[in-house]
Amino acid sequence: MRFNIPRNNLDEMVIYIWKIIDLPYILYNDLLFNVIFEYFIFTPDEASLFIDDVLKKKLLVQEKNSLLRLSDDLNQKFLKWQKERRFEIKKNLTNYRKRNKTVRRVENNNESKFNVLLKKVIDSAALNRAVTVSDDAVEIQNINKKEGFLEAKIKGSKEESYFVIINIKEKTLLHNCHDFETRRAKTKKFCKHLIKLFLTLKKKNEEIALYFLENIIKQINNWEFSS
């Protein structure tokens, strides 16, 4: 639902109110009361004028029993919005379950060497943020196990992308997100982008993911974490 009130568009204004009401019918007096005292959209005078206007223009239809409903055209738009909202909610619920599953798998799977190592450089807050990063946000641009080199780009929540460069020979891990630069690098911990990178790499090739992670962990005090 959009939170800006479309006061300059009568059709959208009616739909906006109906999204809040979320009922097929409503009594005139109940609608009047709600837009004034529940939703604080109109003053009493404005509310009466608005409802009378939309009735006159047949954006709302008053049935014989005094119940108000949306016009057929607006009702189609409203039903389309409801369908899109249900799809969005279902998608978000699926993503939420997927994220929780990933978190539980990392936190509770003590048999996996990868997870045991990863837990040494993460905390639960960073892990929970990492699973909100989409899978297609990670682009591994160059990886060479023999040279011990990995370069990747990760899309941020806004327009910018962040880089990750791991060099085992030089023992350097370079990354440029704000959280890593200001907090995580100092304590040799992974931010959400680094966690997501290794989780993604593990899906593609667990052996290589484990190779890079193990090399970082086993001599972590000798590694430079910086940007």
Q: Provide the whole-model pTM.
A: 0.56
Q: Supply the pLDDT for residue 73.
A: 96
Residues composing the chain: 227
Residue intervals of the chain classified under CATH 1.10.10 are 1-108
Phi, psi of 40 (to 5 degrees): 55, 40
In this structure, are residues 150 and 166 in contact, taking their beta carbons and an 8 Å threshold? yes
Alpha helices in the chain (DSSP H): 10-21, 28-33, 44-56, 72-108, 113-119, 124-130, 178-179, 185-187, 192-204, 206-218
Task: Please say whether the structural domain 1-108 has been given the CATH code 1.10.3470.
Answer: no
Q: How far, in Å, CA of 225 to CA of 227, rounded?
A: 7
Query: What would the two tokens of residue 74 be?
Result: 């607006």
Q: How far, in Å, CA of 74 to CA of 96, rounded?
A: 32
User: What is the pLDDT tens value at each position of the chain, 227 positions in all?
Assistant: 445 899 999 999 999 999 999 999 999 999 999 999 988 999 999 999 999 999 999 999 999 888 999 999 999 999 999 999 888 888 877 777 766 666 666 655 555 788 889 989 998 888 888 888 888 899 999 999 999 999 999 998 776 899 999 999 999 999 999 999 999 999 999 999 999 999 999 989 999 999 999 999 999 999 999 98
Q: What angle do CA 126, 130, 136 make, to 5 degrees?
A: 160
